[in-house]
């Protein structure tokens, strides 16, 4: 065993998180076994899936035999049992539970293999060019490799892309549904001033790995170690590296925030999935708006539309069954105003500029967390058989127009059409209000809350894709 540990190659990197500037590097581009640092990507995609509406934090997840049989570290999930998605996130982030990580992958992608392909695809989009994933947990497997440089990038992206969840990495312990779990990184969190994450990892092939982050004043440093000889040695080395980082980082720096990843058409990645392309990406499963982008979104490829169709079906099925599957929560005072401050234990880590006001969705005590601003709007049903319920309306007086996708044979078909269209045209309809209106000829699918120009342009794009569409005005 001692020889195996000594044979694990050493690599390290220190980065100024504000700018992405590398402050120290040693063997940082050498492809090594990441061990449970892998779970940073598993969690990144879990947060992404929640943001995109593929799953919710309170979706009940049924545990497969494959997930339940993963070796330690484990939460202790049993095959056939169900557990809320938020508890799997906590177990993977805090306890580094392999069974929870696998269950996350299966819940999002259907299988761990498909999820691993998505992990590699996402790594490419984030600039982690020397990383390939084969599983969701990080246990040693052929081809499952990363670098100190790539994992440092991963730590920075977790902090900037999903600040509302980042505080989970600093919790010393938490409730994971079936057990109270303790943080594998609590020794460093307690020993180093300003430390607030991120993730430990260990296998014989990898040695003792760690990606850590700390903030002091206006400076945030991220440090990574691969191939540590022991937990104590790794922690001591990471503290030395972070001390080096704080000494070398300027007291003031212009923050360069990364943009959310944009996925291009498939081809050539070797992972069987999409890769990042240069410039403005025109085709994507869920195109994300980029600052300064002016190019109109185009129709997704048939394969991507099929993937959207499958995701829509899963989302509708989860939504239909979720209320019965959720456990009863203890009565709590209703949060009826945005002016009521959250309790201290539900606030996210302080964040620079406007994001300091973002409330941490994962830490809410309510059973259902707040919906992110870029998540598609809820469907509203109106008609003679049911009262109309408005859950969100446009705040702009000029957004009095909309588009109709025409009558559908059933309420379910109208829902599917709205969801499918919203996912493929998220840049157009992400702020629109979706409605299903019962008519004598069927169920009409509508997007409302657009400007006249938005409605006209949206119909032009949809019509070009052979999707019936008709704009309407305030009187309709």
Residues assigned a catalytic role: 36, 39, 96
85 backbone φψ class: left, alpha, beta (φ>0; ψ -120 to 50): alpha
Question: DSSP readout, 267-284?
Answer: -SSSSSSB---SS-----
Handedness of CA 232, 238, 244, 249 (dihedral sign): negative
Alpha carbon dihedral 395, 400, 403, 409, in 10-degree steps, equals 80
**What angle, 0 to 180 degrees and rounded to 10, lies between the N-to-C axes of helices 302-325 and 411-424?**
120
Residue ranges of alpha helices (H) inside 79-216 are 85-90, 98-109, 112-125, 148-161, 163-166, 186-191
- The first and second tokens of residue 245, run together, are 């980082």
For 150, 316, 375, the CA distances from 419, given in Å and listed in that order, are 35, 9, 11
Measured CA to CA, the distance from residue 239 to residue 185 in angstroms comes to: 13
Long-range interactions of 314-323: CB distance < 8 A, separation 24+:
314/54, 315/53, 315/54, 315/55, 315/419, 316/412, 316/415, 316/416, 316/419, 318/55, 318/56, 318/59, 321/60, 322/56, 322/58, 322/59, 322/60
- The first and second tokens of residue 5, run together, are 């540990």
Judge whether 78 and 63 are in contact, CB under 8 Å: yes
Phi, psi of 49 (to 5 degrees): -65, -40
3-class state of residue 198 by DSSP:
strand
Residue 178, C-beta contacts closer than 8 angstroms, at least 6 positions apart: 75, 76, 77, 83, 87
Q: What angle do CA 49, 402, 395 make, to 5 degrees?
A: 75
For 170, 369, 416, 450, the CA distances from 393, given in Å and listed in that order, are 37, 20, 21, 11
- The first and second tokens of residue 461, run together, are 């794009």
Q: What is the number of other CB atoms lying within 10 angstroms of the CB of residue 384?
A: 8
Measured CA to CA, the distance from residue 264 to residue 287 in angstroms comes to: 9
Q: How many CA atoms lie within 13 A of 243 on its CB side?
A: 8
Beta bridge partners of 345: none
Handedness of CA 76, 78, 79, 82 (dihedral sign): negative
């Amino acid at each position: 065993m001692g020889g195996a540990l000594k044979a694990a190659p050493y690599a390290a990197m220190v980065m100024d998180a504000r700018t992405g500037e590398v402050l120290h590097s040693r063997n940082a581009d050498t492809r090594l076994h990441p061990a449970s640092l892998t779970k940073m990507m598993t969690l990144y995609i879990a947060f992404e899936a929640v943001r995109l509406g593929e799953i919710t934090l309170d979706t009940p997840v049924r545990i497969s035999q494959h997930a339940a049989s993963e070796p330690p570290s484990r939460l202790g999930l049993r095959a056939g049992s169900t557990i809320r998605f938020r508890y799997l996130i906590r177990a993977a982030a805090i306890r580094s539970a392999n069974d929870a990580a696998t269950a996350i992958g299966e819940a999002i992608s259907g299988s761990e293999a498909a999820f691993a392909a998505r992990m590699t695809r996402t790594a490419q989009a984030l600039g982690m060019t020397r990383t390939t994933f084969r599983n969701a947990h990080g246990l040693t497997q052929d081809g499952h490799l990363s670098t100190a440089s790539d994992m440092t990038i991963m730590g920075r992206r977790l902090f900037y892309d999903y600040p509302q969840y980042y505080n989970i990495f600093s919790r010393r312990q938490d409730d994971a549904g079936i057990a109270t779990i303790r943080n594998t990184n609590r020794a460093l969190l307690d020993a180093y001033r300003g430390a607030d994450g991120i993730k430990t990892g260990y296998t014989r092939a990898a040695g003792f790995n760690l990606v850590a982050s700390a903030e002091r004043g206006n400076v945030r440093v991220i440090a990574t170690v691969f191939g540590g000889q022991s937990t104590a040695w790794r922690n001591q080395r990471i503290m030395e590296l972070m001390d080096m980082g704080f000494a070398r980082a300027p007291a003031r720096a212009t923050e360069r925030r990364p943009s959310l990843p944009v996925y291009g058409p498939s081809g050539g990645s070797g992972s069987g999935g999409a890769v990042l392309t240069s410039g403005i990406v025109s085709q994507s499963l869920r195109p994300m708006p980029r600052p300064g982008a002016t190019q109109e979104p185009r129709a997704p490829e048939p394969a991507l539309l099929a993937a959207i169709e499958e995701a829509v079906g899963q989302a509708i099925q989860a939504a239909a069954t979720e209320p019965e599957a959720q456990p009863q929560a203890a009565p709590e005072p209703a949060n009826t105003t945005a002016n009521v401050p959250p309790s201290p234990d539900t606030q996210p880590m302080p964040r620079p500029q406007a994001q300091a006001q973002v409330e941490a969705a994962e830490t809410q005590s309510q059973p259902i967390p707040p919906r992110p601003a870029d998540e598609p709007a809820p469907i509203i049903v109106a008609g003679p058989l049911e009262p109309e319920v408005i859950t969100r309306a446009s705040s702009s007086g000029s957004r009095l127009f909309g588009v109709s996708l025409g009558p559908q044979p059933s309420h379910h078909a109208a829902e599917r059409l709205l969801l499918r269209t919203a996912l493929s045209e998220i840049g157009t309809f992400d702020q629109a209000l979706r409605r299903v209106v019962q008519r004598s000829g069927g169920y009409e699918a509508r997007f409302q809350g657009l400007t006249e120009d938005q409605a006209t342009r949206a119909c032009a794009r949809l019509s070009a894709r052979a999707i019936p569409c008709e704009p309407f005005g305030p009187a309709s």
